[in-house]
Amino acid sequence: MAEKRDYYEVLGVDKGADKKEIKKAYRKLAMKYHPDVSEDPESTEKFKEISEAYAVLSDEEKKQTYDQYGHAGMGGFSQEDIFNNVNFEDIFRGFGFGGSGGASGGGFESIFDLFGFGGGHRNGPRQGDDVGYELRITLEEAATGIERDIEVPHKKICPHCHGAKAEPGTDTKTCETCGGSGQVRHVNNTPLGQFATVRPCSVCKGEGKIIETPCSECQGKGIVRKTSTIHVKIPAGVEDGSRLRVPGEGDAGVRGGPSGDLYVMIHVKKHKLFHREGSDLTYEMPISFVQASLGDTVEAPTLDGAVDLKIPAGTQTGTSFRIKGHGMPHLRWNGKGNLYIKVKIITPKKLSPKQKELLQEFAEVSGDEIYAEQKGLFDKFKDAISH
């Protein structure tokens, strides 16, 4: 299956485009690719693509989810959810043409029929929305893995009416406006032919029945908002930005549909010592000029406690030493990454008279060696700029 294109790319707009620009771009492309007017053999698929992009980017909530997580964030939305509340009739009515009839004579089929979820399916069981939860953990917790109870607000089936929406023991009657189907069909004439839309009945709100006595606990909604305590397990080695799925702990489904899922977004806090790159850690360790020159054995911090690290004589600033197996655990296989100790030679800011005397003596003794080093670097610079 081909990878989905970026929605902004599909419509040809920038990420900072406002609703007006997004709508204008969609209208232009819709006129070009609608199957009733386009001769392009791929017009149907292109029309579906631009319509889906518009449905997401024209909805503030869906757009925010897409901007943050991309197509992965839309995984919890069905095609029906994506197109819910999008007024395509208004889009095409606004083209500014007069008269009726269409170029194709075949009628302007509804967006919902084109995508294959028109008719009674819209009033059937529907999965509940997914719910997101952001969890902040430390690098140490990410290294060992943790189990934690989190408090998640979500929608659940009303325990009083069990989702029936009516007060237990009361009667309901069939809606006369839609005849119990829960939906009504509107047909409008456009320059491209007839444009048909199927919408939930405004009288019964798509239920097909009239509830005379709403449930006293959920006020006739069938669901209640509550906060549940959910136990989650965070695996060792989890990275910042990882998403943990907890099936069935999202919002309750509609009309008997299954519940959505809970997605726990993991944020690993920055560590005061270590910088993480995948499964490896880096620590910048300060050492003195004497330690770098003469060599030394120092204690290097790790997530598992301090370990001895040998600094060879003559070590230069920026040199890295690898401590194998002291990084982060791998998520998909056994073992750990490495810890890299990058040394940084610290120059003292204040010197005693004795220290200055010794350093001056050192400079005199090693002057030829330092001068040769400087001269070599200068010669290399001259060679570089002369070519």
Does the annotation list 274 as a binding residue? Answer: no
Q: Long-range contacts of range 3-9, CB-CB < 8 Å, 24 or more positions apart?
A: 4/71, 5/49, 6/70, 7/52, 7/53, 7/56, 7/57, 7/66, 8/53, 8/57
Does the annotation list 280 as a binding residue? Answer: no
Provide the token pair at 276.
Answer: 């993480």
Does the annotation list 215 as a binding residue? Answer: yes
Give how far Cα 10 sits from Cα of 59, 73, 86, 276, Å: 16, 18, 18, 35
Does the annotation list 75 as a binding residue? Answer: no
Q: Are 197 and 101 in contact (CB under 8 A)?
A: no
Burial of 167 from C-beta contacts in 10 A (0-12 / 13-18 / 19+):
middle
Does the annotation list 161 as a binding residue? Answer: yes
Does the annotation list 345 as a binding residue? Answer: no
Give how far Cα 298 sits from Cα of 281, 301, 305, 320, Å: 18, 10, 13, 14
Q: Are 177 and 185 in contact (CB under 8 A)?
A: no
Does the annotation list 174 as a binding residue? Answer: no
DSSP character for 379? H
Alpha carbons 37 and 30: distance in angstroms, whole number: 10
What type of residue is 250?
A: G
Question: Looking at the chain, how many residues does it have?
Answer: 387
Does the annotation list 201 as a binding residue? Answer: yes
- Residue 378: strand, helix, or coil: helix
Strand pairing class (209-211; 223-234): unpaired
Annotated binding-site residues read 158, 161, 175, 178, 201, 204, 215, 218
Annotated binding-site residues for Zn(2+) read 158, 161, 175, 178, 201, 204, 215, 218
